[in-house]
């Protein structure tokens, strides 16, 4: 198991305005648009100032034969600490019938906490930034659509920079 760590002073916002966050949304089972709409309708219960990208239809990546995904990204300001935020996101998934019979299984709804301010967290059940978001066009394209200047606390690059880097010749 990976050790638990949180970069000091990065997990809360002392101003009380909330912590800027990015949440990736995805679905590849059933009425995908309805599943995403369900999550979007619930995000204001844990985030302020929610903005949502357009929906992007994408091929599955890194999983066995599965239906195509519908993806989006939401950004907002978290009122809760990161561990409570991820628990609330998982509860929304379960409300929509999310099951996890095996890693990478098709899903009605997938909600990933991609960024939580400048926090770098590595503990069981919570890794922020999401460890693979920098290589995922289905996250970076919608994130760049609504928050191109949102920074990655690990690389210092913005969402827009990361997408441009992904688009460079020789990469994907």
Active site residues per annotation: 98, 107, 110, 112
Does the CA dihedral 75-79-84-90 come out positive or negative?
A: negative
| Token duo for residue 107 | 């899903």
Query: In what side-by-side order are the strands of the sheet with 126-128?
Result: 5-6, 121-123, 126-128
* Closest-CA residue to 140 (of 128, 123, 157): 157
Judging by beta carbons within 10 Å of its beta carbon (0-12, 13-18, 19+), is residue 149 exposed, middle or buried? exposed
């Amino acid at each position: 198991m990976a050790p638990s760590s949180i970069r000091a002073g990065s997990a809360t916002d002392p101003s009380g305005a909330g912590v800027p966050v990015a949440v990736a949304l995805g679905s590849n089972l059933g009425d995908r648009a309805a599943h995403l709409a369900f999550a979007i309708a619930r995000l204001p219960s844990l985030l302020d100032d929610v903005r949502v990208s357009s929906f992007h239809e994408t091929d599955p990546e890194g999983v066995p034969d599965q239906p195509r995904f519908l993806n989006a990204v939401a950004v907002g300001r978290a009122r809760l600490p990161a561990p409570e935020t991820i628990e609330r996101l998982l509860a929304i998934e379960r409300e929509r019938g999310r099951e996890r019979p095996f890693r990478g299984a098709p899903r009605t709804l997938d909600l990933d906490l991609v960024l939580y301010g400048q926090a770098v967290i590595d503990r069981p059940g919570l890794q922020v930034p999401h460890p693979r978001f920098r290589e995922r066009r289905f996250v970076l394209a919608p994130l760049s659509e609504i928050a191109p200047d949102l920074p990655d606390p690990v690389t210092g690059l913005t969402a827009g920079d990361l997408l441009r880097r992904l688009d460079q010749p020789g990469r994907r």
